[in-house]
Amino acid sequence: MEIGKRSSNPYVPKHLRRKCTPIESPITSSKAANAYAETYGVYDTKALVSELCKQFYGLGWVLGTGGSVSVKVFDDKEPKSDQLIVMSPSGVQKERMMPEDMYVLSSDGVVLSTPRSKSYPYNSPKCSECTPLFLQAYKIRNAGAVIHSHGIESCLVTMLRPLMKEFRIKHMEMIKGIEGHGYHDELVIPIIENTAKEGELIDSFTEAIRSYPKSTAVLVRNHGVYIWGETWISAKTQAECYHYLFDAAVKLHQLGLDWPSTPGNDTICSVNTVRGLSLNLLRGVRSCIFIGIDITHVSYLSDALCSLAIHKLVSMFRSQRYTLQLRLFDDVPKALQMWHASGIKVYIFSGYCRKVQQFLFHHTNFGDLRKYLSGFFEGNAKDRRSFKEIFLTVGVDNPADILYVTDNLEEANDAEAAGTGGSVSIKVHDFTKSNSDQLIVMSPSGVQKERMVPEDMYVLSSNGVVLLTPLPKPYPYKFPKCSECTPLFLQAYKIRKAGAVIYSHGIEACLVTTIRPLMKEFRVILSSINVYA
């Protein structure tokens, strides 16, 4: 059927057709179909496609009006093969699209709803040239969503070896994100040659889909990639994994590694390295460190400590058999001792008066730590004049020699704007319990991380017992499940007394282990990046 042409075949969903009487004219049926296309759950799908286009634009997949996104409108009363299709238009600024800019098509490609034209300088809307290819993926693979990306990774990976007809890669963790694949599987994606017009790709595209039944993507050389999935979540997840793998392959090629068979148990690769670098071992060392404190639950003591004699207040607490103590994490005294031994001066900077600061660091759960401190400053971190006064007082010529440590991101930014180095250190703790008895909040597995809300999290006891499970969401969201990383997280909490654990699939972390496949350790002597002590 020719795209965009009206069909005499009934394309109104079955449950709506039953409402049509036999005497209705084709015009009336067409109106019913158009009404259906503008109501019954379609708007939500239009809004979703609009949101995805904005997100994919940020990822560089649909730049320059290229690329397209299409999603089927879920309807539990209709088989997937008969569900409507919402599709982004062609030749438009994808990051500026709104739900009303989308096309609505029947399952066989008949245009049911066309977006309205916009005033100059916008072009008249037109249906994507990808439509025939999208329809083939919907028809042959019974897909629920199809994504066409012009991401630079998908283009470059087909240019590295011009005669290559397939993209192959293995021994990469992100392969597990592709439907029907595991870590030990080799991922194979067909590559077809580009044409002047996308509609001319239909034959080679169809052949590739049929010839590679396990693949959920087709690469087009010097062009981009088509990716599909059972649902929009599956298609999006796989698209992210595919682009990650394409990017990894390009980077491995730049490193001189054979990326079709990346290092695993059965492959050894080598790469030239630069040796004999002369490093300045003192580079990046600060002359002094300021610690900004905002101690929870003691602000009510500030006025009292500044107005009453310290010994009277302490006597009052002791008479009531209370202990007033500043509780610190285990790494604080160790860091203070190390900095002190290294000759680095450490100061406390807070909105509390100096007497409060001195009193609190005199009475900590590690004893009196004032011997490691060179002074106390009172001020407002958001007032840059406070930092200027500090520079004059401590006699530092270059503000960059000062490292300001705080748990407040705004303070760190203000400190950095004043010329100092800003560092953020955050840890949530319940001081009524020991570190080993703290509850654990954990993100679920197999979900769209950027769309999560607090209600989606798991809560576990310190020994891994699930205390709170997130509620299931409607289709196409999958039933929530606790992360497979949980046992590893628990070991880090148990052995290292950690307060937080992060598991990252960052491509840098992956590639750095690939460069030397026999390496059992990653070592760095010194870098220009300052890591907190």
Q: pLDDT over 90 for what percent of the chain?
A: 35
pLDDT confidence tier of residue 186, bands split at 50, 70 and 90:
very high
Answer yes or no: is pLDDT of 74 > 80: yes
Q: Per mean pLDDT, which range of 106-120, 271-285, 437-451 is the poorest?
A: 271-285
Largest CA distance in the chain: 97
pLDDT confidence tier of residue 202, bands split at 50, 70 and 90:
very high
- Binding site annotation covers 505? no
Residue range 301-321: average pLDDT?
Answer: 49
Question: Options 3.40.225.10, 3.40.50.720, 1.10.540.10, 3.50.50.60; which CATH number does 130-260 get?
Answer: 3.40.225.10
Q: Where are the domains of the chain?
A: 1-128, 130-260, 269-432
Query: Residue 45 and residue 104: Cα distance in Å, rounded?
Result: 10
Q: Tens digits of per-residue pLDDT, 381-396? A: 666 667 667 777 777 7
Q: Which residues contact 464 (CB under 8 A, 6 or more apart)?
A: 440, 486, 487, 490
CATH topology of domain 269-432: Rossmann fold (3.40.50)
Q: Per mean pLDDT, which range of 284-288, 330-334, 397-401, 406-410 is the poorest?
A: 284-288
| Phi-psi domain of 370 (left: phi exceeds 0; alpha: psi -120 through 50; beta: other) | alpha
Say how many Å lie between the first and final Cα of the chain, rounded.
67
The pLDDT assigned to 104 comes to 95
Answer yes or no: is pLDDT of 185 > 50: yes
Q: What is the DSSP letter of 289?
A: E
The pLDDT assigned to 284 comes to 42
The pLDDT assigned to 297 comes to 37
pLDDT confidence tier of residue 445, bands split at 50, 70 and 90:
confident
State which H helix or E strand residue 47 sits in.
helix 42-58
pTM for this prediction: 0.62
Query: Residue 135 and residue 146: Cα distance in Å, rounded?
Result: 9
Looking at 255-353, list the stretches that DSSP marks H as alpha helix, in order from N- to C-terminal side: 302-307, 310-319, 331-341
Tokens for 260, please give them: 């079709």
Instruction: Select from 48, 29, 124 the least CA-distant residue to 86.
Output: 48
Contact 327, 431 (CB under 8 A): yes
Residue range 108-132: average pLDDT?
Answer: 90
Instruction: Select from 286, 290, 292, 530 the least CA-distant residue to 401.
Output: 286
Give 147: exposed, middle or buried? Use CB within 10 Å, 0-12, 13-18, 19+: buried
- Binding site annotation covers 130? yes
Catalytic residues: 173
Please state, rounded to an integer, the average pLDDT across all residues of the chain.
77
Task: Please report, as a single letter, which amino acid is at residue 86.
Answer: V
